[in-house]
């Protein structure tokens, strides 16, 4: 069986602090994987849970005033006069042709075909069901004290899955798995007046600008551009910009998060889209009343005890990294600052503690200008340098304390917190990028077959730049603010790969005892390069504190699960305190739910 994404729901009140306890190396207990054939995997859809708290606070006296937003960057510039001239010349030539002729040029110059791996098994897209469907096929019972609300998971669901490779006289490009249009899958938990559970399901596309455009055309609109040969990528970018005003789609497929009682679907290259969680209708982009004109991280972090939201933007052009803080009511941008990165980095996550923003900086470079140098649009530098920055909440680029760490390309964090004179950062560590560059296109199967498997240094042909570079494991960085030194290392067994970590959201930014992560089916993943997971692990970071009146794991894990043998999808509810036991409830869904990305639980 395969589960995709796990979320934590808790009932207890939010604690103001946790007493210090001795940190121990993590152990983990995995939930039962259940049936299915040899190719099946317990596959997680990542989800996180929270109780919505809305706080209203006055800004401290020393807080910097809100920054006026810079001019919007609409069309990325290649970065030099010659390159700009070339783009202008291409633009003038193509703009002189009518839109109909441009469409005919695409039809004549390009041949589209299918990437089978993106359209097989549970990666194959599904249709919208439309109306809400009541769910009556349930094994076990939903706990009486389980909260009313809705669990929503986001993920890619291509409109045209058989047209994901584009071959032309310029070369070949293709869509990546991460580019499908966002589709929301929601399971609603409501109680009747008699206290009986009423459970229902609905799914719906996020109606982003480009989803509506492709829906109206009823055909592929954007030429694939993010993955491919550099020259072909450049031409695809130019064609997309000329035709639609943007180089790539705003797919809104990566996460759905809550702020100020509102829900937002998001991916990293565009503003979030507000969603009505009652019917999954798309309400429109969220720009914080016009104050934010940058891309928007898909993993924002809420500040413990305040409710303000820390966000970031990574850009192909300057400013390459912009950090923002949104007020707890979602109406004001309290802080906006350019961190003055010298080059563009594709950074997926950001951390917070009670006082600091935690900036991950690793050499996963991206940008249209790279294609002029015959480099891939996205590429990780295996020999590059990585660092982690500790930044005061309302600081600037000069206020960041940087710590050099072992080079890595880690996408996901468990949590960050202050501990004495240290800042502790926990995440899932990988050396390489899960987004392959064009340099691996010639033989992706060989690359996947070695990169995702546990590295064996005793092999005669062991290659440290390839073997095990995508074998992801929980990891800890301890950043000493007094000495300026960093201690780091793995915190779980070297035999098990994990990723997509979550914690009880009430403990974001403060010391926590438990984490939950998806256990990778490394063998199945190595065959296609598309992540498959076979179970969920509970990590124990600290010894239980019997004197603490609040139990961090007093709640449930909820996840989508797919059985590849029966082709049936379910929702599991797992008691977090009885983690290794059978789920307390298994709810069968009316259709298959494809594997996806992040999600959340929204309390009624």
Q: What does the block give as tokens for 384?
A: 């590059």
Residue with structure tokens 């305190």? 577
Burial string for 264-300 (b: 16+ CB within 10 Å, else e) reads: bbbbbbbbbbbbebeebebeebbbbeebbbbbbbbbb
CA distance 414 to 163: 36
Query: How far is residue 75 from each of residues 175, 376, 379, measured CA to CA in Å?
Result: 21, 19, 21
Q: Is there a binding annotation on residue 598?
A: yes
Q: Is there a binding annotation on residue 540?
A: no
The DSSP string of 356-412 is: EEEEEE--EEE-GGGGGGT--SEEE-TTS-EEEEEEETT--GGGPEEEEE------E
H/E stretch holding 520 reads strand 514-520
Residue with structure tokens 């606070």? 57
CA distance 312 to 359: 9
Q: What are phi and psi of 92, to 5 degrees?
A: -60, -45
Residue with structure tokens 């296109």? 441
Maximal CA-CA distance, the chain: 75
CA distance 552 to 586: 24
H/E stretch holding 281 reads strand 281-285
Under 8 Å CB-to-CB from 420, ≥6 apart: which residues? none
Residue with structure tokens 């469907």? 133
The DSSP string of 296-335 is: --SS-EEPTTT--EEEEEE-SSSS-EEEEEE-TTSS-EEE
| Nearest alpha carbon to residue 9 among 143, 196, 195, 146 | 146
CA torsion angle for 5, 50, 255, 252 (degrees, to 10)?
Answer: 140
CA distance 36 to 522: 17
Under 8 Å CB-to-CB from 504, ≥6 apart: which residues? 8, 10, 49, 512, 514, 552, 553, 555
Under 8 Å CB-to-CB from 382, ≥6 apart: which residues? 407, 431, 432, 465, 469
Length of the chain: 604
Query: How far is residue 277 from each of residues 119, 280, 281, 283, 402, measured CA to CA in Å?
Result: 28, 5, 7, 10, 40
Check: CB of residue 466 under 8 Å from CB of residue 456: no
Residue 180 CB-half CA count within 13 A:
26
CB atoms within 10 A of CB 380: 24
CA distance 393 to 335: 9
Q: Which segments are annotated as binding site?
A: 348, 412, 598
Q: Which segments are annotated as binding site for Fe cation?
A: 348, 412, 598
């Amino acid at each position: 069986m395969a589960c995709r994404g796990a979320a934590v729901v808790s009932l207890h009140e939010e604690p103001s602090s946790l007493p210090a306890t001795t940190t121990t190396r993590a152990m983990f207990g995995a939930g039962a994987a259940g049936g299915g054939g040899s190719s099946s995997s317990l596959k997680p859809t990542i989800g996180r849970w929270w109780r919505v708290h809305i706080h209203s606070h006055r800004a401290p006296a020393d807080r910097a005033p809100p920054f006026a937003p810079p001019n919007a960057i609409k069309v990325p510039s290649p970065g030099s006069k010659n390159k700009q001239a070339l783009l202008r010349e291409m633009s003038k030539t193509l703009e002189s042709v009518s839109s109909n002729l441009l469409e005919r040029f695409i039809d004549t110059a390009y041949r589209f075909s299918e990437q089978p791996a993106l359209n097989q098994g549970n990666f194959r897209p599904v249709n919208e069901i439309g109306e809400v469907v009541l769910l009556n096929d349930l094994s076990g019972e939903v706990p009486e004290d389980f909260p009313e609300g809705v669990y929503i998971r986001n993920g890619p669901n291509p409109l045209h899955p058989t047209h994901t490779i584009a071959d032309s006289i310029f070369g070949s490009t293709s869509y990546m798995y991460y580019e499908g249009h966002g589709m929301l899958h929601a399971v609603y938990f409501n109680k009747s007046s008699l206290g009986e559970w009423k459970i229902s399901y609905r799914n719906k596309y996020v109606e982003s600008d480009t989803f509506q455009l492709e829906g109206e055309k009823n055909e592929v609109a954007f030429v694939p551009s993010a993955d491919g040969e550099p020259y072909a990528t450049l031409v695809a970018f130019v064609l997309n910009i000329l035709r639609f005003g943007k180089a790539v789609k705003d797919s809104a497929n990566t996460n759905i998060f809550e702020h100020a009682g509102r829900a937002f679907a998001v991916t990293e290259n565009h503003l979030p889209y507000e969603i009505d969680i009652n019917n999954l209708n798309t309400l429109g982009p969220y720009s914080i009343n016009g104050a934010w004109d940058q891309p928007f991280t898909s993993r924002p972090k809420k500040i413990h005890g305040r409710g303000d939201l820390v966000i970031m933007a990574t850009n192909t052009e300057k400013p390459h990294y912009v950090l923002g803080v949104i007020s707890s009511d979602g109406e004001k941008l309290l802080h906006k600052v350019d961190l003055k990165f010298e080059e563009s980095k594709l950074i997926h996550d950001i951390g917070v503690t009670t006082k600091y923003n935690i900036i991950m900086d690793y050499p996963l470079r991206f940008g249209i200008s790279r294609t002029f140098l015959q480099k891939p649009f996205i590429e990780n530098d295996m020999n590059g340098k990585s660092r982690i920055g500790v930044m005061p909440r309302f600081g600037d680029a000069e206020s960041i304390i940087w710590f050099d760490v072992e080079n890595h390309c880690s996408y996901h964090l468990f949590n960050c917190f202050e501990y004495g004179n240290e800042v502790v950062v926990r995440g899932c560590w990988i050396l390489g990028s899960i987004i392959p560059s064009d340099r691996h296109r010639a033989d992706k199967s060989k690359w996947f077959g070695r990169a995702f498997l546990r590295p064996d240094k005793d092999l005669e042909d062991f290659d440290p730049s390839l073997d095990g570079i995508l074998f992801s494991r929980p990891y800890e960085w301890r950043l000493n603010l007094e000495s300026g030194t960093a201690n780091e290392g793995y915190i779980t067994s070297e035999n098990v790969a994990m990723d997509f970590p979550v914690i009880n959201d009430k403990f974001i930014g403060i010391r926590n005892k438990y984490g939950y992560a998806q256990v990778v089916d490394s063998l199945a993943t190595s065959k296609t390069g598309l992540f498959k997971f076979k179970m969920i692990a509970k990590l124990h970071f600290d010894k239980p504190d019997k004197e603490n009146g609040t139990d961090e794991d007093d709640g449930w894990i909820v996840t989508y699960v797919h059985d590849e043998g029966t082709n049936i999808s379910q929702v599991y509810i797992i008691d977090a305190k009885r983690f290794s036991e059978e789920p307390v409830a298994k709810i069968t869904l009316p259709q298959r739910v494809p594997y996806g990305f992040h999600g959340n639980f929204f309390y009624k």
